Amino acid sequence: MTTTKGLEGVVAAQSSICSIIDGVLCYGGINIDELAENATFEEVVYLLWHGVLPKRDQLSALQKQLGESAAVPQEVIDSIRTYPRDVHPMAALRTAVSSLALYDKEAQDMSLEANYRKSIRLIAQTPVLVAAFARIRKGLEPVAPNPQFSVAQNFLYMLNGKEPTGTAIKAFDTALILHADHEFNASTFAGRVTVATLTDIYSGIVSAIGALKGPLHGGANEQVAAMLDEIGTIDNVEPYIRKALDNKQKIMGFGHRVYKDGDPRAKWLRQMSKELTQQVGREELYQMSIKIEDLVTKEKGLKPNVDFYSASVYVSLGLERDLFTPIFAISRMSGWTAHIMEQYENNRLIRPRAEYIGPVNQHYVPIDQR
């Protein structure tokens, strides 16, 4: 056996959902650049699930299904009211998604048709859960979803209680597309490992949420925002970054295991950051980010990943820092459900081996002789 730390470079399975080849990210064979420029998030959801872009009637049907499925059982909303107000939103989301299974009559139905319907409900209801918790912890009432709105529009509407601007909807929709899938990332693989036991889709999604919660995965953009807050002004950027580099501290939002020449998603978020920070009068966030990028790239040869500029984008949209990772989950729910359905379709229990490095030739010693 060959031991590979972190499974780096190990091909665990075949998939037709997403590819990263020579630094080019594609969903269903379509370059992420084309999708970010032209597609809607709902089109991307269909693409990840079916392998092709939807025709007009297919897209309309999916949009209608998502709108009709967005309402969350009242029992789940009531349970969210009992959560501690200071709990991290990812912990709240993990619990709330698990609760959805309790009220889904198809939760244990493992048929392809039932799993597809559950996937629609998960895509539609996850934004409702995140927005509901965000409002309840402030003492506000949740806002019911509008079945006529897109996923992006609905989330911003439910979060703030008012219709968002077209610019905000477009920016958020693009961010959802960029985060929708990323091959066998930690959370997706966790979800596939879980459902490979033939447990239900909710269990797989809860596993994925747990993995995404970590600061080395979905929590990285939250850490970037915290860093920007700590730096404060553009004049503090260089001394802060140089001190961090001298102390060999990790600069969040830079580098990626599968991209050696830069994350292809970062340029879209960089442009969005530039435009949004100008519109809301927070240009210093973008200017600080550019300066940080220049320093880290020059000193360490590392380029920004998807998390780095998404932080300033979300801040510009008025989103609270601890909601960044739940927003990641709203988007990645599309990829998670696609991979889980693919795993079910051609399942094999995922059970790797470990290289044993402990003591050998040990023997039992009676307790009074130890």
Residue 108: per-residue pLDDT: 96
- Residue 94, pLDDT above cutoff 80: yes
pLDDT number for residue 287: 96
Using pLDDT thresholds of 50, 70 and 90, give the confidence band for residue 1.
confident
Average pLDDT of span 200-210: 98
pLDDT for 261 equals 80
- Once rounded to an integer, what is the mean pLDDT over residues 230-247? 95
According to the model, what pLDDT value does residue 329 have?
A: 97
Strand partners of residue 20: 25
Residue 363's pLDDT is 97
- pLDDT value at residue 240: 96
Strands 30-31 and 18-21, bridge-based pairing = unpaired
Q: Of the given ranges (24-28, 104-108, 306-310), which has the lowest mean pLDDT?
A: 306-310
Where in the chain do CATH 1.10.230.10 domains reside? Answer: 220-316
pLDDT per position as a tens digit, 311-331 = 999 999 999 999 999 999 999
Helical H runs in the chain?
Answer: 32-38, 41-50, 56-68, 74-80, 89-102, 112-136, 151-160, 166-178, 186-195, 201-212, 220-231, 237-246, 266-279, 283-300, 306-316, 324-345
88 flagged as catalytic: no
- Annotated active-site residue 263? The verdict is no
Instruction: Look at 260 and 120; give whichever has higher pLDDT.
Output: 120
CATH topology of domain 220-316: Cytochrome p450-Terp; domain 2 (1.10.230)
pLDDT surpasses 90 at 2: no
Q: What mean pLDDT comes out for the span 77-81?
A: 98
Catalytic residue among 104, 173, 307, 339: 307
**In which residue ranges of the chain is CATH 1.10.580.10 found?**
15-215+323-345
The CA–CA distances, whole Å, from 306 to 103, 155, 264 equal: 35, 21, 8
Per-residue pLDDT averaged across 265-288, rounded? 94
What pLDDT, on the 0 to 100 scale, is given for residue 307?
Answer: 87
**Mean of the pLDDT values across residues 221-238?**
94
The pLDDT of residue 238 is: 96
**Averaged pLDDT for residues 124-143:** 98
Confidence of residue 362 (pLDDT cuts 50, 70, 90): very high
Average pLDDT, the chain: 95
Backbone region of residue 339 per phi and psi (left: phi > 0; alpha: psi in -120 to 50; beta: other values): alpha
> What percent of the chain has pLDDT above 70?
100
Report the pLDDT averaged over residues 157-183: 95
Residue range 15-215+323-345 forms a domain whose CATH class is mainly alpha
User: What is the number of alpha carbons within 13 Å of residue 353 lying toward its C-beta?
Assistant: 6
Q: Which of 179, 256, 263, 339 is catalytic?
A: 256
Its pTM stands at 0.93
> pLDDT grade, residue 277 (50/70/90)?
very high
